Amino acid sequence: MGALKNLEYLNFSPIPYWLFNMSQSLVHLNRRRSELVGPIPNAFGKLTSLTILDLQENFLTGEILTTFASSLKKLYLSVNQLEGSFAKSIANLSRLVVLDVSSNSLKDIFHENQLLNLSDLRVLDLSSNNIMFNMSSKWLPPFQVDVIPLQSCLLGPKLPRWLQTQKKLSSIDISSAGISDTLPHWFWNLSFNTVLMNLSNNIDNNFIGPIPQISPNLMSLVLANNSFSGPITSICESLVANNSLSFLDLSYNLLSGPLPDCWKYGENLVVLNLAKNDLSGRLPYSIGHLIHLKALRLDMNSFSGSLPSSLKYLTNFFVIDLGGNMLSGKIPPWIGETFVNLMILCLPFNNFSGKFPYFLCQLKHLLYLDLGVNHLSGTIPRCIDNFLTMAKIEAEPSYVDKLSCSIPPWIGYLPSLTYLNLSYNHLPGKIPSGVLSLFPASSFMKNDKLCGHPLRKACSEPFYDDPQCRVNDQQDIEYEDQDHDELTSFYVSMGIGFVTAIFVYWIVLLLNESWR
């Protein structure tokens, strides 16, 4: 063991207790994702040369030590089960550059004197804990941080004035921070180098006022779940000078007016989320310039008219949600021809009309479809089982509105089908046997000509489909014959696809921290 006297870097599991007696020269200890359990050993205080300690993503419990060696520069304790207070534990770590204790169960109140010695601090990540800041409006921090994620920390109700002193910010997250205030002009000029800004989910949805012109270097802007109002023309002004913006989330605000025709300047956008506002008018043709767009959410607004043909140039889509608008016309066939990677398609509560779009059968990766409450007619094509088996991704109705042909028997033999709602249609005939018998009667309500279990209405005589439905069935059979090999490969990869769909939906649309 004497050979370990000059050990500087250690990376193995578990932590041997002889280490604390024999490795006075240890500088860097990395035990991330090592399934460590129990409290942090007090013996860490003996490692007087230790500068980097990484114990992230374990199962550590108890409080954070007060005996860490003062030599520490980087301390990573995120994603554990630590609890209790800890502000006093880090007050004397005067050389600390990085402090990351995010995603624990810590509960504490930070006062000015507990941060006075941290003049070298560059990263302060206290997010996803129960931490309150009790600072006066005149407090001047001793540090200039680069990254400051304070999600779920209690900073409000007023926007902390000490943030104005931070001139080197590249990333700031004060989402869910209990702030009820207007944003002053100085906030938008915090740093020319800021690339990520997240102000979502504050108290009473009460960041108010118009959206100002943003920093030209900003790559990600999240203002969701607030009370920002007025038009979004300022975003256009920013896009002209800023081609770096890739993630824009203004959802769940009070924004109004038309969608500006300025998107030719936003070619680097990957995610555009304007859901749940009061935006109106036709979708502009320039939206077809967003060639890198992977997720588009414009749902729950008042958009009208048909889908612009320029959308067919956007070949990278994974997610499209245009539900809850007043869009009309036929669902264009280029959706099936162009959006080859599409996994989630939501167009419900609009005014789309015409026959059920058979070209959706071309979308081999589609896992979730919602066309509910439109004016579609016809029968359900056989190929639709690709995504009906995956309708369990969301507990939302997968209506197909105003269908008038009988329910195809093959639907009853989809063993993975866990959710289906065919209510409010004109479906006639007998409900097929199989898994559909396990569904509640509410899944088939308001179909006056439908009979059989689980409905109380018995089928008294044989039913024969309309001749037009039989034509549709024949077209479906021909389509299947042409595409049998591709469907087989689809089912082989279905398990992987299910996991991927959940990942894309939650990670991309909800801005998960790991996505950032």
Q: Which ranges in 159-285 belong to alpha helices (H)?
A: 185-188, 233-241
Extract long-range pairs of 414-421: CB within 8 Å, 24+ residues apart: 414/385, 414/388, 414/389, 416/389, 416/390, 416/392, 417/388, 417/389, 417/391, 418/391, 418/392, 419/391, 419/392, 419/395, 420/388, 420/391, 421/372, 421/397
CA–CA distance, 333 with 95 (Å, rounded to integer)? 62
CA–CA distance, 41 with 398 (Å, rounded to integer)? 53
CA–CA distance, 195 with 480 (Å, rounded to integer)? 48
pLDDT at 386: 54
Q: Report all structural domains of the chain as residue ranges with CATH numbers, in order of start.
A: 9-143 (3.80.10.10)
Task: Describe the crossing of helices 467-492 and 494-503 by its angle, rounded to 10 degrees.
Answer: 90
pLDDT at 286: 94
Residue 303 φ then ψ, to 5°? -65, 145
Which residues lie across from 235 on neighbouring strands? none
Is the CB of residue 408 less than 8 Å from the CB of residue 383? no
Query: Cα angle vertex 457, ends 452, 461, to 5°?
Result: 70
pLDDT at 16: 65
pLDDT at 128: 94
pLDDT at 466: 64
Per-residue pLDDT of the chain (516 residues; tens, 9 = 90+): 444 555 555 555 566 666 666 556 788 888 899 888 989 888 888 888 889 999 999 999 999 887 788 899 999 999 999 999 988 888 889 999 999 999 999 999 999 888 989 999 999 999 999 999 999 889 999 999 999 999 999 998 889 999 999 988 999 999 999 888 888 888 887 767 789 999 998 767 568 888 888 887 889 999 999 989 999 988 888 888 767 899 999 999 999 999 999 899 888 999 999 999 999 999 999 999 999 999 999 999 999 999 999 999 999 999 999 999 999 999 999 998 899 899 888 898 899 988 878 888 888 888 778 887 888 877 766 666 555 444 332 333 444 556 667 887 877 776 666 667 777 777 888 888 887 888 888 888 888 888 998 998 888 876 666 666 655 444 444 433 443 333 333 333 333 333 334 444 444 444 444 334
Q: Which ranges in 339-443 belong to alpha helices (H)?
A: 385-388
* Tokens 């009906």 sit on residue: 388
Q: Which one-letter amino acid corresponds to residue 211?
A: I
pLDDT at 17: 67
pLDDT at 389: 43
Q: Which one-letter amino acid corresponds to residue 13?
A: S
